[in-house]
Structure 1
Amino acid sequence: MAQMSKWGIVALTAISGSASAQVDLLPDIIVDANRLYDNAIQISGGRTYLRLSNATANIGQGKLHLYGGAVLPGGRQEVIQRVHRSDGTWWDRVAGQFVYHPGHGHIHVDSWCQYSLREVTTDGGVGPVVAQGKKTSFCIIDLSIWDSSLPGFVPGGEFRSCGSTVQGLSVGWQDIYSRGLEGQAIDITDVPAGTYWLESEADPNNNMLESDETNNTARILVVIGGGGGGSIVADAYEENNSRAQVDGRPVGQNNSPNLGPVGPQRIITNLTIHQSGDDDYFKFYQPGMGTSADFVRIDFPHSAGDVDMQLYSSTGTLLATSQGTTNSETITLNNRPAGWYYVRVYGFNGATCPGYTLTIDPSASSNAPTVQVHTPPAGDTQRTYGAETYDVTWSAADLDGNPTWVTVYVNTTPTLDGNEIMLPTSLHTPGDLGFYIINSADFTPGTYWVYAAVTDGNAWSGAWSDGTITFVNEVCLADLSSSADPNDPGYGVPDGIIDSADFFFYLDLFVAGNLQADLTGSADPNSPFYGVPDNIVDAADFFFFLDRFTEGC
């Protein structure tokens, strides 16, 4: 718990009225346990690593608002947390340090998360740490919506760039780091085979002031090296012992039993009934009326354990059971209408199974879904690699009224030639959300076309963007717009030319007090705050921009 003695209060704005009328609108940071299920083993340089994805979300009453303070030795800088209050005022406190991360190419908040592997005690509790990663630094930004129903949620987010020392998490937003990024690993080379708790703790040093300091940790069970002891290993889709557990997992994500779209056919191997009474539930969507060609099937060695299967409706009504004595069980989807279904796989009389395969072949809809990619628009849009994000937007539709899911790819040419890169955190984004925020740290600098693949649960289609997005190592700060007309599509789109359009675009931002116009804390080039945003739009920002505009690119 953060203590009053630890608060380095830097500034307090003038406040009016009684103190009792003012309430600190504090953030509340949690770890999304569901992201931890996206993990995998990697062997590199003779060492074995458990790689994992991670996400932190803000469920508090106020934003986590961070900006740079005093410059420190060794290329570091103080982090200042601005605590907003219910009457519109705020106060500041020291909350750790910023550090430049060369692997990601931008500024990070140091020691944002700690990843650990812990023993499982005999009663299923949490034991000592057996392996631990370094305290991972993050650029903290709004990358994905966590819960738009929270009071104080801001559509579009407020913190979108790693290029400055202004970072944070808006209410109802989350930051996501995929397992392929540097630092997303624990060295488990010397860890014995077995089942362990995989744990992620946000803000392990308690640098941030939050409304709840007790909910910063999430953990899941993982199996290392075959589990040990000769027992059957729990599969990657655990825990999925009930419909409620499955409903709590994200739709269509890696290792999630809430499968969502499974068409044209989904085959999942290496599943197990690892102990007596271990029911496995899976949930899937069928987009049309089932035919005699549509089915759910499990294949397994019957001699190693008798496994049966049931099909349930979305409300939990038992629809069909398959209880045979061969090496497979099949349930037809014939005449089953479009909608959500559960599959239950279980051992007969408590039997276990060392390995089975689940195949789901759902019906097809009458019409394939469609998608239109709106951004990037025609031409080329530039962003700074490793520092700036970019919103890919689309419109998805399905004439049959089915839900849709979109997965985003990029490629250097507008072709699906095997070189396209799937952006991992975009997998099965709800189509009606209409956007995905690209984190440029997921790939290398370059010019990319964007492809949106859309499915309704069976059929797939897709579309390329009309233009490209270029992530470059440096973007000219004064190149802001190709047009001064707010109604022009080029308004706010850099064109590589410094001219009056850029000046008047910045002037619009400045007059409106838009934080995009916040460029510096000082107009003095000799000041340590020159070029360091301070979250205030004032004359210093205007003169700083004027210097960049005069210099050109």
Structure 2
Amino acid sequence: MRLSAVIALVGSLARISPAPAQTSCVPFVPCTDNKGCPDMIVDGTQIPIDLSLGKETWTSSECAVIEGEVAAGDRWLLRFDSATPNLGPGALIIGNPLEHPEWFDLVTCHGHPHFKEYTDYRLWTTKGYEAWTALRQANPTACPRDLLAANPSLGRQLVTGRKQGFCVVDVYQYTDGVCAASKNHPTKYSSCDDMGLSVCQTDFYPAFLDGQWIDVTGLQAGDYVLEIEVNAERFFQETDYLNNSASIRVTLPKGLH
């Protein structure tokens, strides 16, 4: 991969407001911690820290191309960090991929299993994002994919989007919100062979990793909204699904060809 150019982007943080309701989706991964279920959020303060736009050249033999994360050739990629803390009373317990192969993509070019349906990355027009947040607030129990399927005109305002699966582990302690009162939150999960996310721990993916991007090649110049949602498919059980998204406004320049 060759980095040809980099343009720094500045965004203003916006967070989707939660509504007090439960989701209608059925999780595949049950809540098995005796202390309770996890409660995932996206730490929106992390999104703009390493946000950048770069023209990169990819070959057909590279893992990101083989796994469908990007097309071969010259591509303009909007890169960003993704941080997903667990604020719940209990841990997200995933375990060994070999014990639940249906939860994972086991054969990957990167050499480790990827947990399915962990985060969704979306890039919206500004008007589309306003309509999207209003629709979700009016239908708080609906799954995102069902809302998009039922509103194709809104889907056309979703200019690009992708799903990302990861090796979910404890990376660093989260100290805001409900986690601020106590500074002692032990880590337990540190290996792709035993995945999970402890209480008040954060799974973190820096912008330089494969897949930490939205491909914006060919998009018109203007203002957009980058949205990150964890567990959008309600793949694993949580105490609250309505606080799973964060977003940031970005401005794309001309010449993304």
Q: Which TM-score bucket, shorter chain as reference?
A: 0.5 to 0.7
Match status 1:56 vs 2:68: no
Match status 1:129 vs 2:158: yes
Tell me, yes or no, if the aligned pair for 1:153 and 1:172 is still in contact at 8 Å.
no
Flag the 1:100–1:174 CA change in 2: closer, same or farther, 3 A.
Answer: farther
d(CA) in 2 for partners of 1:26, 1:152: 19
| Percent of paired sites with the same residue | 29
TM-score normalized with structure 2 length:
0.65
Q: How does 1:5-154 map to 2 (within 5 A)?
A: 6=26, 25-37=36-48, 38-44=50-56, 45-68=73-96, 77-78=101-102, 96-103=103-110, 105-121=111-127, 125=130, 128-133=157-162, 135-147=163-175, 150=179
Query: Secondary structure of 1:43's partner?
Result: strand
Query: Secondary structure of 1:195's partner?
Result: strand
Q: Indicate which of 206, 209, 231 corresponds to 1:181.
A: 209
d(CA) in 1 for partners of 2:122, 2:78: 10
Query: Secondary structure of 2:106's partner?
Result: strand
Flag the 1:101–1:152 CA change in 2: closer, same or farther, 3 A.
Answer: farther
Q: How does 1:28-427 map to 2 (within 5 A)?
A: 28-37=39-48, 38-44=50-56, 45-68=73-96, 77-78=101-102, 96-103=103-110, 105-121=111-127, 125=130, 128-133=157-162, 135-147=163-175, 150=179, 155-162=185-192, 164=193, 166-225=194-253
d(CA) in 2 for partners of 1:186, 1:9: 27
Deviations 1:477-511 (A, max 9, x none): xxxxxxxxxxxxxxxxxxxxxxxxxxxxxxxxxxx
d(CA) in 2 for partners of 1:125, 1:70: 42
Q: What stretches of structure 2 of length at least 5 have no aligned partner?
A: 1-21, 57-72, 133-156
d(CA) in 2 for partners of 1:49, 1:31: 21
Q: What stretches of structure 1 of length at least 5 have no aligned partner?
A: 14-22, 79-95, 228-553
Flag the 1:156–1:209 CA change in 2: closer, same or farther, 3 A.
Answer: same
Flag the 1:199–1:126 CA change in 2: closer, same or farther, 3 A.
Answer: farther
Deviations 1:164-200 (A, max 9, x none): 1x21111111011011101111111121111111110
Deviations 1:271-324 (A, max 9, x none): xxxxxxxxxxxxxxxxxxxxxxxxxxxxxxxxxxxxxxxxxxxxxxxxxxxxxx
d(CA) in 1 for partners of 2:82, 2:164: 11
d(CA) in 2 for partners of 1:212, 1:158: 23
d(CA) in 2 for partners of 1:11, 1:174: 18
Aligned to 2:14: none
User: Which structure would you say has the larger RCO, counting Cα contacts within 8 Å and 6 or more residues apart?
Assistant: 2
Tell me, yes or no, if the aligned pair for 2:29 and 2:235 is still in contact at 8 Å.
no
d(CA) in 2 for partners of 1:8, 1:212: 16
Tell me, yes or no, if the aligned pair for 1:159 and 1:167 is still in contact at 8 Å.
yes
Shift of the alpha carbon at 1:101?
3.6
Q: Which has the higher helix share?
A: 2
Query: Secondary structure of 1:29's partner?
Result: coil
TM-score normalized with structure 1 length:
0.31
Tell me, yes or no, if the aligned pair for 2:122 and 2:214 is still in contact at 8 Å.
yes
Shift of the alpha carbon at 1:35?
1.7
Deviations 1:366-389 (A, max 9, x none): xxxxxxxxxxxxxxxxxxxxxxxx
Report the AA paired with residue 42 of structure 2.
Answer: V
d(CA) in 2 for partners of 1:31, 1:192: 27
Shift of the alpha carbon at 1:146?
0.8
Query: Secondary structure of 2:45's partner?
Result: helix
Tell me, yes or no, if the aligned pair for 1:30 and 1:215 is still in contact at 8 Å.
yes
Residue-pair matches, total: 191
d(CA) in 2 for partners of 1:111, 1:7: 11
Shift of the alpha carbon at 1:46?
2.2
Q: How does 1:482-521 map to 2 (within 5 A)?
A: none
Shift of the alpha carbon at 1:70?
6.6
Flag the 1:214–1:10 CA change in 2: closer, same or farther, 3 A.
Answer: closer
Tell me, yes or no, if the aligned pair for 2:206 and 2:212 is still in contact at 8 Å.
yes
Tell me, yes or no, if the aligned pair for 2:31 and 2:237 is still in contact at 8 Å.
no
d(CA) in 2 for partners of 1:211, 1:222: 31
Q: How does 1:513-552 map to 2 (within 5 A)?
A: none
Flag the 1:140–1:152 CA change in 2: closer, same or farther, 3 A.
Answer: farther
Tell me, yes or no, if the aligned pair for 1:192 and 1:224 is still in contact at 8 Å.
yes
Shift of the alpha carbon at 1:97?
2.9
d(CA) in 2 for partners of 1:196, 1:223: 6
Tell me, yes or no, if the aligned pair for 2:85 and 2:203 is still in contact at 8 Å.
yes
d(CA) in 2 for partners of 1:9, 1:209: 6
Tell me, yes or no, if the aligned pair for 2:186 and 2:198 is still in contact at 8 Å.
no
Flag the 1:99–1:217 CA change in 2: closer, same or farther, 3 A.
Answer: farther
Report the AA paired with residue 97 of structure 1.
Answer: F
d(CA) in 2 for partners of 1:197, 1:12: 35
Flag the 1:132–1:69 CA change in 2: closer, same or farther, 3 A.
Answer: closer
